[in-house]
Structure 1
Amino acid sequence: MTLGGSHDQNRPGRLIVVSIDPEKLAASLRVLGTSNDRDISAALHDVIGACVQLFGVSGSGLMIADQQNVLRYAAASDGPGRVLEDVQSETGQGPCVDTFVNGEITSTDDLATETRWPASRGTILEHGVRSVLGVPVHLGGVTVGSLDVYLDRPHRWDDSERAALSRYGEVLETTLSAALTARHAGQLAEQLQYALDYRVVIERAVGYLMADERVDAVTAFNVLRRVARNQRRKVAEVAQHLLDTGTLP
């Protein structure tokens, strides 16, 4: 695979990808479209491993919304990548959560000097993650997850790296869509379909809380999630109740 790139000045000789051949990349990911229930997890890990090689980063991970519309671990290249995902699922804080809720690229150049995400930042740092770049993963225009890469050192992410990871995410979206259509992904397909069905309702409820409580989108989303968890209900049910009645259940 021929890739265009530039050398990271913070790490001499290390290649940071700035362009990706979409056809060759799509071919390398096509295994997802033909995977069955048994090996879909392995295929996702192969994709994440390829992401590490393509971008010359310390690690990578993929989080997909579950039937509570909460981001969950789907694949990670290593232990720190798994911690990065698990702690964000538990706390509702982190770059991947912001990426998912806001539907936009989120990054941090150095978690050691970061003021966002106080509930998760310390644990992530303890496992050697310093800089993170995440892009939303969409299906049918709906955000269903977050794809991220990270480095074990501070790094200023530039526009070329953001564009390259976004392109990688777009190819992944196409492949996940094919897996969903073919129903090859088992539980993953159910999660994706639920996210597609109820994301709009949840986004409307988030907007309602933002206006009513004067909070940001992530805070509003975590209010819905907390109520759903306490009442053992799905986030979409809590969101619909709020929209119907103007109050949280």
Structure 2
Amino acid sequence: MVNIDPEKLAASLRRLGHADDRDISAALNEAVAACVQLFAVSGSGLMIADQQNALRYAAASDGPGRVLEDVQSRTGQGPCVDTFVNGEIVTTDDLATETRWPASRDTIIEHGVRSVLGVPVHLGAVTVGSLDVYMDRPHHWDASERAALVRYGEVLETTLNAALTARHTSELVDQLQYALDYRVVIERAVGYLMAAHRADAVTAFDLLRRAARNQRRKVAEVAQHLLDTGSLP
């Protein structure tokens, strides 16, 4: 168990809750850096869905954290992807013994990531990304660690919502707005593919994502085409 100092956690949550939303990137980087200190972990990162509905790097505490995010974005596989697609906490105690995520697991391990805890990041009822912490060694994530990261993620959501409310012009804000505007259509398309292919949500999500990339179209356009015609373009 990681020994999380409740006073440091409370102080960090207060700072994050009052972050200057004029510089959203700086606030997110500060939040990710604080995760490392608070949870006594090797690194932390934040991924946000882009217009292809693929999770993309938004902030990372270090190089391995960036690799963890980049590999998952490229392959569509990994604990953070599962967190985002299913909207639930996902953990792995030791990637070396995992049978999940074969397309990304080995590369992630090679860069010093062994155990991961991810929680979904929401705006309203919409999942827009994932916040994760990782260890460079096997580690069992207990209930207190899960609860603390969920709480931290909730305050992080306040920072993201403040940026949207203030209508800042930035690539990240555009990503968040796109996720909010089209998530329902995308989720309906994922559900259609799950039924048609008898697949789980992550597999169906990846089918839709790859079709959008191959067509060089936004994933919402491909999702709407699927719902209108019954087939991927």
1:242 correspondence with 2:226: yes
Q: Which of 150, 153, 156 is the aligned partner of 1:172? A: 156
Q: Deviations over 1:167-206 (max 9, x none)?
A: 0000100111011111236111110000000011111111
Distance in 1 separating the partners of 2:158 and 2:10: 12
Q: SS where residue 34 of structure 2 aligns?
A: helix
Q: Deviations over 1:92-129 (max 9, x none)?
A: 00000000000000010000000000000000000110
Q: CA deviation at 1:46?
A: 1.1
Distance in 1 separating the partners of 2:126 and 2:109: 31
For 1:99, the aligned partner's letter is: T
List alignment gaps of at least 5 residues for structure 1. Answer: 1-7, 9-14
Alignment partner, residue 110 of structure 1: 94
Contact 1:93 1:117 in 2 (8 A): yes
For 2:76, the aligned partner's letter is: G
Contact 1:31 1:43 in 2 (8 A): no
Contact 1:18 1:160 in 2 (8 A): no
Q: CA deviation at 1:21?
A: 7.8
TM-score, normalized by length of structure 2? 0.95
1:28 correspondence with 2:15: yes
For 2:93, the aligned partner's letter is: D
Distance 1:189 1:21, change over 3 A: same
RMSD of Structure 2 on Structure 1 (CA):
1.6
Distance in 2 separating the partners of 1:178 and 1:54: 24
Q: CA deviation at 1:23?
A: 6.0
Q: Deviations over 1:42-94 (max 9, x none)?
A: 32211100011111110000000111111000000000000000000000000
Contact 2:21 2:159 in 1 (8 A): no
1:129 correspondence with 2:129: no
Distance 1:107 1:141, change over 3 A: same
Distance in 2 separating the partners of 1:91 and 1:210: 19
Contact 1:94 1:120 in 2 (8 A): yes
1:86 correspondence with 2:73: no
Q: Which moved more, 1:55-64 or 1:27-36?
A: 27-36
Q: SS where residue 150 of structure 1 aligns?
A: strand
1:162 correspondence with 2:146: yes
Q: CA deviation at 1:234?
A: 0.8
Q: CA deviation at 1:24?
A: 3.3
Q: CA deviation at 1:33?
A: 4.1
1:150 correspondence with 2:134: yes
Distance in 1 separating the partners of 2:175 and 2:19: 16
- How many residues end up aligned between the 2 structures? 233
List alignment gaps of at least 5 residues for structure 2. Answer: none
